[in-house]
């Protein structure tokens, strides 16, 4: 046997609809009665009186007194004069490629170095600076110059010889 559909009481439905409508009217009236004001601190012409103080930018330093990087002015350390360049330059070379045959002499890199006030200055043969390094007491300037020249010639590649010239063993190269 099938159940009969239950029909709700029409008076109860009407009363519920009226209660919902009354609640909505009360909510709308409450919204209309409330005035929301947001104060941003920015004066608007025509809205705010002209007696509002004019805005002026804050003078540097943009920190309250006693706070920030300029709170205590510390004396700056004296600037050290630049070291004088070395007077005497010496020759240094490194082998970059070994000879492969009687016709192939290999390759070297040449530079010159000088020491002044405990600092080694490395330059190419034309006088263009390559590197400089402060020497320790037990350093040999020739060895340090050779190491710097070798390090600067590696082109910072992770693959050894990646930027090196391709040897053609005396054969002509056509493009």
Q: What is the pLDDT along the chain (175 residues), one digit of tens a residue?
A: 566 666 678 888 899 999 999 999 888 777 666 666 777 777 777 776 666 566 676 666 566 666 666 656 667 788 888 777 788 999 999 998 888 888 888 888 999 999 998 899 999 999 899 899 999 999 999 999 999 998 886 665 566 666 666 666 656 666 5
pLDDT score of 94: 92
| Whole-angstrom distance, CA of residue 110 vs CA of residue 18 | 101
pTM above 0.75, yes or no: no
pLDDT score of 148: 92
Closest CA to 97 of 86, 106, 88: 106
pLDDT score of 50: 66
Q: Per the structure block, which two tokens stand in for 119?
A: 């600092």
What does each C-alpha distance from 17 to 8, 26, 43 come to in angstroms? 13, 14, 47
- The strand pairing partners of 122, in sequence order, are 113, 131
Instruction: List, in order, residues 6 or more apart from 135 with CB less than 8 Å away.
Output: 115, 118, 119, 120, 141, 144
Give residue limits of the domains in the chain. 90-152
Give the H or E element holding residue 122. Answer: strand 119-123
Give the H or E element holding residue 132. Answer: strand 129-134
């Amino acid at each position: 046997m099938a159940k009969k559909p239950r029909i709700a009481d029409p008076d109860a439905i009407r009363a519920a609809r009226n209660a919902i409508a009354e609640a909505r009217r009360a909510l709308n009236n409450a919204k209309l009665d409330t005035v929301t004001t947001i104060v941003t601190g920015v004066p608007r012409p025509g809205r705010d009186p002209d007696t509002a103080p004019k805005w002026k930018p804050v003078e540097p330093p943009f920190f309250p007194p006693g706070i920030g990087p300029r709170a205590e002015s510390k004396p700056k350390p004296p600037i050290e004069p630049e070291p004088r360049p070395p007077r005497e330059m010496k020759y240094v070379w490194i082998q970059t490629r070994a000879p492969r045959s009687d016709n192939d002499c290999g390759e070297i890199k040449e530079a010159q170095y000088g020491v002044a006030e405990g600092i080694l200055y490395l330059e190419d043969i034309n006088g263009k600076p390559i590197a400089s390094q402060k020497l320790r007491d037990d350093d040999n300037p020739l060895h340090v110059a050779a190491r710097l020249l070798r390090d600067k010639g590696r082109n910072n590649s992770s693959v050894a010889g990646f930027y090196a010239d391709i040897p053609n063993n005396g054969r002509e190269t056509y493009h």
